[in-house]
Amino acid sequence: MQRFSLVKFLTIVLLVFSTTLFAQHEQNEEHEGSPKEVSFKEKIKESINHHLLDSHDFTFFSDSETGVHYGFPLPVILWDNGLQIFSSSKFHHGETVAENDGNFYKLYHNKVYKTDAEGSISLDDHHHPTNAKPLDFSITKSVLMIFITGLLMWLAFVGMAKSFKKGPIVTGAGRFLEPIILYIRDEIAIPNIGEKRYRKYMPYLLTVFFFVWFLNLFGLTPLGVNVTGNIAVTFALAIITFLITQFSGNKNYWKHIFWMPGVPVPMKIILAPIELLGVIIKPFALMIRLYANIMAGHIVLMSLIGLIFVFQNWIGSSLTFVLSFAISLIELLVALLQAYIFTMLSALYFGFAVEEHDEAH
């Protein structure tokens, strides 16, 4: 069997993606501005929001006519005066109230709130729920994909380590991973951290690079996964980088933040708060950069896919499909680029923390 080229493969993926997300669409020949047209635009908006948000079940696609959802439920784990564990199928995709041990819960904007048997949700003046919200430790769709990504990375690297025991030439998936690992070591870790200290940071740099890259790639599949577009995930990654940087900081690192050598005392007093603020801004920039780029890419790509079904002619739909395909190619580059940038900046921050300065100069 001949191998498909990358272009053919991406075309198939994009077709499946668009068909999966908007399979419910019925051809609409009414003029623009009619109730049916507005309703369909709302469906596109809901599909985009559904893709971007996390959920308590893994749904591949839904049939709006029959109300059937194709996917599988995930475990809901709550702490509400004790541990509450049940299947997300009790929510029936947010349409019903879930009962467990005499407690009633309802999904509102993909968040679990405690309610009564009727499922009433009280809203304040700003349309925010006032119902009690239990601590949610559920295995959501994003959490499941994090587990799957972690398992894939573990299998790949364990297999690579085992192959090195048999000989100096790596086999299997290691042939693909080895050049990337060497590049991260030689072009990111050593130049930014230094040849003496880079080794203890390599496990984290490799982990964060492949973790972000694999999740970015999963986000471009028809599975509807948007893990790195979740600010909670990017916040956690940025916090880890921040903590490693601060705990790695030597006396020179802290000295250059609070009392810069070679600077007049009045300037030291002025610059110290600015430098301290920069310590906090650095991980914040890491968090926002990854989150904003991935989120924006998903919104643009899905909006273009939605336009394929909005246009009611061959020209508009065809041009939109070509543009969507071009954007999907760019998103493949962005997926790799964002993993590279996150790893590069993390290594740069580690290098700042462990750098030794020659006091004589």
Would 14 be classed as within a structural domain? no
Give me the mean pLDDT over the 249-267 stretch.
74
Q: Which of 94-98, 195-199, 256-260, 340-344 has the highest mean pLDDT?
A: 340-344
Same domain assignment for residues 160 and 296:
yes
CB 99 within 8 A of CB 92: no
Domain identity same for 152 and 288: yes
Burial of 290 (0-12, 13-18, 19+ CB in 10 A): buried
**pLDDT tens digit sequence for 134-158:** 998 889 888 999 999 999 999 988 8
The rounded distance, in Å, linking the Cα atoms of 287 and 305 is: 27
Q: How confident is the model at residue 63 (pLDDT cuts 50, 70, 90)?
A: low
Among 31-45, 54-68, 235-249, 261-275, which is the least confidently predicted range? 31-45
pLDDT for position 32: 40
Strand partners, 298: none
Same domain assignment for residues 182 and 300:
yes
Count of structural domains within the chain: 2
What mean pLDDT, rounded, does the chain reach? Answer: 79
pLDDT over threshold 80, residue 168: no
- What pLDDT sits at residue 35? 43
Region of poorest pLDDT, from 101-110, 156-165, 179-188, 317-326: 317-326
Q: Residue 26 pLDDT > 50, yes or no?
A: no
**Would you say residue 1 has pLDDT above 70?**
no
Could you tell me if residue 264 is inside a domain? yes
Domain that holds residue 80: 75-138
210 contacts 218 by C-beta, under 8 angstroms:
no
- Report the range of poorest mean pLDDT among 23-27, 93-97, 237-241, 326-330: 23-27
Residues 232 and 347 occupy one common structural domain: yes
Residue with tokens 């599949």: 221
Residue 38 domain flag: no
H helices, E strands: number in the chain: 10, 8
Considering the domain architecture, whether residues 303 and 165 belong to the same structural domain is answered as yes
- Considering the domain architecture, whether residues 134 and 256 belong to the same structural domain is answered as no
pLDDT > 90? residue 312: no
Counting residues of the chain whose pLDDT is more than 90, the rounded percentage is: 23
**Pair 100, 154 in one domain:** no
Q: Please, what's the largest Cα pairwise distance for the chain? A: 79
Among 73-82, 85-94, 193-202, 302-311, the range scoring the smallest mean pLDDT is 302-311
Which domain-ending residue is among 105, 138, 171?
Answer: 138
**So what's the pLDDT on residue 39?**
62
Judge if 127 and 235 occupy the same domain: no
**Looking at per-residue confidence, does 27 or 176 come out higher?**
176
In angstroms, the CA 129 to CA 230 distance is 21
> What's the alpha-carbon Rg for the chain, to the nearest Å?
25
Residue 173 is predicted with a pLDDT of 75
Cα atoms in the Cβ-side hemisphere of radius 13 Å centred on 235? 3
How many other CB atoms sit within 10 Å of the CB of residue 127? 6
Give me the pLDDT at residue 161, please: 84
First to last CA, the chain: 65
Q: Does 153 lie in the same domain as 132?
A: no
pLDDT tens, 117-132? Answer: 888 888 888 888 888 8
54's enclosing H/E stretch is none
Residue with structure tokens 């580690």? Answer: 350
Question: Can you give the pLDDT at residue 66?
Answer: 67
> Any idea what the Cα angle at residue 38 is, between residues 37 and 42, rounded to 5°?
120
Place of tokens 């947010």: 94
Same domain, 345 and 332: yes
For residue 11, the model assigns a pLDDT of 46
Scanning 219-264, the segments in alpha helix (DSSP H) are 231-248, 251-258
- Among 138, 165, 181, where does a domain finish? 138
Looking at the DSSP bridge assignments, the partners of residue 82 are none
Question: Are 113 and 176 in a shared domain?
Answer: no
Domain assignment of residue 56, yes or no = no
* Whether the model pTM is above 0.85: no
| pLDDT value of position 17 | 45
Tell whether 7 is covered by a domain.
no
Tell me: do 97 and 155 sit in the same domain. no
**Within-domain flag for 115:** yes
Does residue 19 lie in a domain region? no
pLDDT of residue 20: 45
| Domain C-terminal end among 91, 109, 138 | 138
Contact assessment for residue 89 and residue 69, using Cβ atoms and an 8 Å cutoff: no
Looking from the CA of 222 toward its CB, the CA atoms found within 13 Å total: 20
DSSP label of 3 = P
Rounded-to-5 percentages of helix, strand, coil across the chain:
60, 10, 30
Whether 29 is covered by a domain: the verdict is: no
**What's the gap between Cα 189 and its chain centre?**
24
Q: What pLDDT does residue 22 have?
A: 42
Do the Cβ atoms of 152 and 214 come closer than 8 Å?
yes
In degrees and rounded to multiples of 5, residue 123 shows phi and psi of -120, 145
pLDDT band for 10, please (50, 70, 90 cuts): very low
Q: Which run of H or of E encompasses 51? A: helix 35-52
